[in-house]
Amino acid sequence: MESLDEQEEIRLKKEQNELLWNYKDILRKDIPHDILKELLELNLQKLVSGESNLIEAVADCMAFGALESCPECNGYLIFNYTNYRCTGNLTEWTNCSYSTQIANRKPFEIPDKIKNKYEFFENYTYTKRNRIMTQIIKKPLLINTTAEISEPDYDCKLPLNGYSLAFIGRLSKRKRSLRKQIKELGGTIMKTINKKVDIIISTQDQIQKGDKKLDIAQNFNIHVVSEQFLKDILT
């Protein structure tokens, strides 16, 4: 039986996912891209490119608060699926490597002129919350009674080690190529959507179109990401 802490985490994660899905759905349907960009700029956030990244950034800010700047270099932080990472530089030649799962936040501000124009924002008020992150799970150590037991080293070249992934919809790359890439990153491919799946790779078009498999994924609180995830996870 799950502990109370585990049950509470599952409940909170389900609520979080429902809130984010609702925000993203409305932002995608009702709010122009230039308004999303304006909100990010007004709140001193990284001006990300691409529709899915814009929607993700604004939804994250609405649900959890605007991100404070990096404590190490004062650069911008962005959501990176499993954490928040810095996009700034420590020096002219060195990128900042700061990342965290619990970022410092401030209230997300929406000016009255935007609130008055878009019904979705009219009654919005900031509520302080922590985002429950998808965990990159290390493979459990298999105990061999005849061998010395030691803590396994985490290999940053295999960030999906112990993770199960599945696909939904038509993707830009051949699935054979994506399967190979995932295996090279240490992940496992699942053919069916069930509670054993940790991450689903899909597209915004598929989400807009609607899919029974995505409904199943939402019920299981499975994190849905784009193909870009496979690149971002190595940065």
Residue 3 has pLDDT above 50, yes or no: no
Output DSSP code: residue 222: -
Last residue of some domain: 69, 95, 122?
122
Cα 13 from Cα 112, distance rounded (Å)? 31
Helix (H, G, I), strand (E, B) or coil at 27: helix
Q: Are residues 168 and 78 in the same domain?
A: no
Chain mean position to CA 197: 15
Residue 130 lies in a domain: no
> What contacts 116, CB < 8 A, 6 or more positions away?
122
Q: Are residues 118 and 142 in the same domain?
A: no
Q: Are residues 161 and 74 in the same domain?
A: no
Q: Are residues 150 and 44 in the same domain?
A: no
Residue 188 lies in a domain: yes
Residue 89 lies in a domain: yes
Q: Which domain holds residue 180?
A: 135-235
Please give the backbone phi and psi of residue 199, each rounded to the nearest 5 degrees, phi first.
Answer: -140, 140
Cα 133 from Cα 81, distance rounded (Å)? 8
Q: Are residues 29 and 50 in the same domain?
A: yes
Comparing CA positions, the residue from 161, 193, 162, 178 lying closest to residue 231 is 178
Q: Are residues 8 and 116 in the same domain?
A: yes
Task: Quote the percentage of the chain above a pLDDT of 70.
Answer: 83
Q: What is the DSSP string of 104-171?
A: -EEPPP--HHHHHH-HHHHT------PPPPPP-PPPPPPP-TTS---PPPP-TT-TTTT-EEEE-S--
Residue 175 lies in a domain: yes
The CA-to-CA distance between both ends of the chain, in Å, stands at: 37
Residue 194 lies in a domain: yes
Residue 43 lies in a domain: yes
Q: Total structural domains in the chain?
A: 2
pLDDT at 220: 76
Q: Are residues 8 and 118 in the same domain?
A: yes
Q: Are residues 200 and 105 in the same domain?
A: no
Cα 98 from Cα 90, distance rounded (Å)? 10
Q: Are residues 106 and 205 in the same domain?
A: no
pLDDT at 71: 93
CA atoms within 13 A on the CB side of 179: 7
pLDDT at 120: 92
Residue-wise pLDDT for 69-107, tens only, equals 999 999 999 887 678 889 888 877 888 888 888 899 999
Comparing CA positions, the residue from 24, 58, 34, 54 lying closest to residue 117 is 34
Residue 153 has pLDDT above 80, yes or no: no
Q: Are residues 34 and 83 in the same domain?
A: yes
CATH at residue 95: 2.20.25.630
